[in-house]
Structure 1
C-alpha cells in the first residue's frame, strides 16, 4: 500500500535558533533525563525532504513555547512558512492558555492576520490545565468559530524513574486533563469545536471502558451530572492522531471509542524524540495494520482534509 496525498496533523516546528539557544535547549533536555547526542535543529528543508520520502502531502505545523513573546514570534514565523510553502504546510496557531485574555487575542490574531488553519494548545501550560474554569471564554470563542484545536502534552516536563516524559508520562497528562474537561462540562457547553488529541488519545481510549463503567457511579463526584450516555457521546466526538501510536495495540481502543472517521494521521516529526526511522516505522505499522482494511487506512490518512478545509483547498490547487 502506498501513501496517497495524506495530511499530517502532528508535526512540530521550531523557529531558527542561535547556537547558544540550541545549546541551552539541549542542556534543559539533559536535566529532564534525555541522553545521547544533541539532536539536529528543525528546518523546513529537512521537513520537506522527509515528507517527500514518506509521501506526505502536507504537515500541519505546531509549536507552543512557554513564554508569550516566544509564542507570538513562533506563530508569526509559522505563518511566514505557510506563505512560502502554501501547498505543503499548514499552521496551527499556538494559544497561551495560562492567560485567557491573551489566548483570546491570539485566536483573533491567528484567524484575522495569520490565516491560521486551526489552533494548538498544551494540556498543562505554565501550570494551567485546559480544564481550568478560567478558560471558559476561550472555549466559548473556539466553539463559536467551530475551530479545530490540536492538543498536545508538555514533552519537556520532568519524567519519572529517570526516563524522559515522552516515553509514557505524556499519556497520563493527556488522559487526566481530558477526563477533567469532561466532568467539568466543557464538551457539554461547547460541542462545536473539534478537539484533536495527540498520540491516539494517549491512555484515554484504553481506559474509556472503565470510565464509562465507573465514571457515573454514585461514589464519584459529578457536579455537572454527566450521564453515561453523554459521556460516551462526548468521548466519541473527540479526534485522535496516530503519532507514535500506529500499531494494532493503540489503534484498536481508539476505534472502539471514537471510530475510524475520527482517527487522523500524525507523525510527531520535528521534535527530538522522533527520529526519521521511528516515524517511518510508525507509518508502516499503520499501513500494515491487521485490524484496518486498506480503505480504512486511506481514510485515516485523509480524514483531516475535512477538519482543515482551507489547507485541503491549497492541496487541491497544487494537484491541478
Structure 2
C-alpha cells in the first residue's frame, strides 16, 4: 500500500516572512481533503530555532479533521517538545530528525548522535504511553557536506539500533543535501529493507526537478512504499550546493505513479485546488 506524506511544515519552516496562522490552517485544511496518508503539518520546537512554526498549536486548533482520513505528524527535537505534542489527541505521529552525521546532529539538535539516541528512547516511551507512533528521519543518509564518515553500513547500523533496540517501526531515509542517485538509493533501500524486514522504510529525498523521476523510480523499484514530498518542491535544505534542490515535488511523484498505474488514493480535483492555493502561500 503506497503512502504519500505531504510536508507543508518542511516547505514553510525556512521562510523568513511569517505565514499568517489562518493562511497555514487554510492550506492544510485543503491538503486534508486531497487523500494523502499523512500531513506533516507543524513542529513543537523552540520558536527561537524555528520561528515559522511557533503557532503550530493554534494551527492545529483550526484544522477540520471531520472529513479526512489523513493522519497528522509533527516534528519534535527533544522530550519537552514530545510532551507538548502528546497533549493533542489529533496528532498521530511524532517525527524526530536523527542525523547519521555527527556535525549535523550537533547543529540541528545540539546533541551528539549517541545523545540523540537516548532522546529517541525517551520520546518513544512517550509515544507508547500516549498512543502515538514515532517516525525517525535518518538525515544525511546519503552523504554530508562536512567530511563526516558516511557509508550505507552506518545508516544500517543506526537504523537497526533504533528499530531493534527501541522498537521504532518507521524510519525515513533523508537525502538532506540532494546527493542521492539511482545507485545509492537502490543500494540503501535494498540493504535496509533486507536488514529490517519488519520496519517501514520511507523516502524523504531532496532533489533538483530533473532528477525526481530517477529518484522516485529507484526507491519504488527497491521496495519503498512511503514517500515524503511537498507541492512544487518547496522547502529543502539551505546547505545544498544547488539552489534548485528542494523537497521532492509531489506533482512529479504523482506523475510517475500515475504513468505506471500505481494507485495513490489522491483526488485529482482536490490536488489541483491544493496546487492553486500553494501559489498564494509560498513566494514565487
Which TM-score applies when normalising by structure 1?
0.50
Which residue pairs with 1:194 in the alignment?
170
Which residue pairs with 1:258 in the alignment?
223
Matched, 1:127 2:104: no
Which residue pairs with 2:82 in the alignment?
107
Asked if structure 1 preserves the Cα contact closer than 8 Å seen for 2:24 and 2:59, the reply is no
Between the aligned partners of 1:48 and 1:142, the Cα distance in structure 2 is 30
Q: 2:194 aligns with which of 232, 235, 238?
A: 232
- What residue ranges of structure 1 are gaps of 5+ in the alignment? 1-5, 16-21, 26-39, 97-102, 154-168, 214-227, 303-320
Between the aligned partners of 1:56 and 1:267, the Cα distance in structure 2 is 12
Asked if structure 2 preserves the Cα contact closer than 8 Å seen for 1:79 and 1:116, the reply is no
Asked if structure 2 preserves the Cα contact closer than 8 Å seen for 1:148 and 1:194, the reply is yes
Which residue pairs with 1:9 in the alignment?
6
- What residue ranges of structure 2 are gaps of 5+ in the alignment? 239-244, 268-284
Asked if structure 1 preserves the Cα contact closer than 8 Å seen for 2:234 and 2:249, the reply is no
Larger radius of gyration: 1
Between the aligned partners of 1:269 and 1:127, the Cα distance in structure 2 is 24
3-state DSSP class of the match of 2:196? helix
3-state DSSP class of the match of 1:172? coil
Matched, 1:267 2:231: yes
More strand by share: 2
Matched, 1:79 2:57: yes
Which residue pairs with 1:62 in the alignment?
42
Matched, 1:180 2:180: no
Alignment of 1:17-166 (within 5 A): 25=16, 41-43=18-20, 44-45=22-23, 48=26, 52=30, 56=34, 59-63=39-43, 68=46, 70=48, 77-87=55-65, 92-96=73-77, 103-113=78-88, 115-122=90-97, 123=99, 124-127=104-107, 132-144=113-125, 145=128, 147-149=133-135, 151=137
3-state DSSP class of the match of 1:81? helix
Distance 1:60 1:211, change over 3 A: closer
For residues 75-98 of structure 1, give each alpha carbon's deviation from its aligned partner in whole angstroms, at most 9, with x where no partner exists. Answer: 6621210111233897543323xx
Which residue pairs with 2:277 in the alignment?
none
Between the aligned partners of 2:164 and 2:106, the Cα distance in structure 1 is 26
Shift of 1:249: 0.5
Between the aligned partners of 2:250 and 2:188, the Cα distance in structure 1 is 30
Distance 1:186 1:180, change over 3 A: farther
Which TM-score applies when normalising by structure 2?
0.55
Instruction: Note the aligned Cα RMSD (angstroms).
Output: 5.2
3-state DSSP class of the match of 2:121? helix
Between the aligned partners of 2:49 and 2:212, the Cα distance in structure 1 is 33
For residues 27-86 of structure 1, give each alpha carbon's deviation from its aligned partner in whole angstroms, at most 9, with x where no partner exists. Answer: xxxxxxxxxxxxx64345267459859973574213586xx3535976662121011123
Between the aligned partners of 2:31 and 2:80, the Cα distance in structure 1 is 38
Distance 1:287 1:94, change over 3 A: closer
Asked if structure 2 preserves the Cα contact closer than 8 Å seen for 1:47 and 1:270, the reply is no
